[in-house]
Amino acid sequence: MGKKTGFLEYTRQDDPQRHPLTRLKDYDVFHLSLDEAQRRRQGARCMNCGVPFCLSAIKIKGRVTGCPLHNLIPEWNDEIYRGQDRNALERLLKTNPFPEWTGRVCPALCEKACLCGLNGEAVTIRDNERFIIETAFAKGYMQPQVPAVRSSKRVAVIGSGPAGLSVAYALNACGHQVTVYEQEKRAGGLLRYGIPEMKLAKNIIDRRLEIMKAEGIQIMTGTKVGRDISQSELDAAYDAIVFCCGARKARQVAGVDLAVSGVMMAVDFLTAAMHDLEENKCPVQAKNKRVIVVGGGDTGNDCVAMCLRMGAKQVTQLEMMPRPSNQTKTPWPEWPVGEKVDYGQQEYRSLYHHDPRLYETTIEKLVVEERMLKGAYLVRGNMINGQWQVKAGSEQFLEADLILIAAGFVGVEDSLAEQFALPLSRHHTLLTNEAHYQIVQSHYFAAGDCHRGQSLVVWAIAEGLACAKEVDNYLKNKK
């Protein structure tokens, strides 16, 4: 514990953000940074608890609190305070290979479990994490680590999202020869094409990919498995194949016809916008349009932020669940149920002085003329025993030119499972041995969303590392 009284002397101070009305004019990142002296004081706030819940990842009433990667948080907070930046980096990378991503997009489950939050404000763990890795890059600590010894084993990883890259990172460190296949023209998966530039700048992904390539990992982009390379070719060339292809089968919304011009899945909308920015073109899908975003989660929020930057005429976000109370504080360390205002809603509030969300509301049916969207009838209701119950007389019409479906995902795409004859679970994810990552009696493995179901980046990384360990053991025992 660097400073015994740090948590008493210093108050929590988050990294600042650019003003909402200013950042709406571009697609640049909205996060700024505290100066070094202030950040070291934030490290001093960590109490080095005897039982640190921040790294526990325990489940309480169905919600996980604490870091799924079991990061050694008290250790590197102490190193931040003492100015031992290289030591802090070593402790951080011991459990998390990609802190520059989690330090930007993770909802910080660790902070929800911080003991400082029991009677006050939690330690700024996520911002501290980002400080460590960015300092390491600035000081030249981040260099390729090429394995001293190579095995003769070859592994194919299908998908270059956080799970796939974690598998590749760990297996390459074990000395195996790893090739990552990505169907898009650039690697990163939903990190690149599902998370907007202002939340995660793509040069942050690129600089890490360059290190991974220098370490010996081969990344084949623009290569769709099943189209550009067959199952038989993969089976013949590799000792193990790891599926990290996500869970991109989107949940459908009753009353919405995807064949109507003006209706898009949210991920397709965000992906198109990211492709435009890659080509230095300004995304315009929502320009001068009245937009309805169906879904109140992170992806829905990202859609709100993107639409505002594109110059949408109107944006309305629908959330089926009731509005949380800001007055409600759950007993520590359970996940808070207070209202969350993310950056997209914050920007909308600054622009229009009210929240874009309509709670307990969804679409009942579309209004269409000659296959062109004109609007939608909305209804209010609530969930009773898992079933949506409409409130009588709540129907209202809302004009719309674009509807974005951000209602989550329900599993892997059917084409992949069919091509490789992969077994599916009742949740429509790839079925593996219980509590393991290997698909029954095969050299196939699965990790990330295609195995776990739609989840967080930090869980994808955790799954990737655990799966890689299992693959390594399999390769060592393989004759």
Rounded Cα–Cα distance for residues 169 and 188 (Å): 13
- DSSP conformation class of 354: S
Domains and CATH numbers, the chain: 6-138 (1.10.1060.10), 154-248+410-477 (3.50.50.60), 252-407 (3.50.50.60)
Q: Where are the alpha helices (DSSP H) in 328-446?
A: 343-352, 414-419
Closest listed residue to residue 90, CA positions, set 18, 12, 145: 145
* Strands 361-369 vs 357-359: parallel, antiparallel or unpaired: unpaired
Give the whole-angstrom CA distance, residue 337 versus residue 329.
7
Pairing of strands 177-181, 154-158: parallel
CA distance 95 to 458: 11
Residue 466: how many CB atoms within 10 A of its CB? 17
pLDDT (tens place) for every residue of the chain, 479 residues total: 668 899 999 999 999 999 999 999 999 999 999 999 999 999 999 999 989 999 999 888 788 899 999 999 999 999 999 999 999 999 999 999 999 999 999 999 999 999 999 888 999 999 999 999 999 999 999 999 999 999 999 999 999 999 999 999 999 999 999 999 999 999 999 999 999 999 999 999 999 999 999 999 999 999 999 899 999 999 999 999 999 999 988 888 888 988 899 999 999 999 999 999 999 999 999 999 999 999 999 999 999 999 999 999 999 999 999 988 765 566 788 776 677 899 999 999 999 999 999 999 999 999 999 889 999 999 999 888 878 899 999 999 999 999 999 998 889 988 888 889 999 999 999 999 999 999 988 999 999 999 999 999 999 999 999 999 999 999 999 86
Q: Which amino acid is at 113?
A: A
Q: What secondary structure letter does DSSP report for 16? A: P
Rounded to whole angstroms, how far apart are CA atoms 393 and 337?
29
**What's the pLDDT tens digit per position in 191-221?**
999 999 999 999 999 999 999 999 999 999 9
Q: Which residues does 256 contact at the CB level (< 8 Å), separation at least 6?
A: 263, 294, 363, 366, 403, 405
**Distance (Å, rounded) from C-alpha 138 to C-alpha 157?**
30
> Is residue 291 exposed (0-12), middle (13-18) or buried (19+ Cβ within 10 Å)?
buried
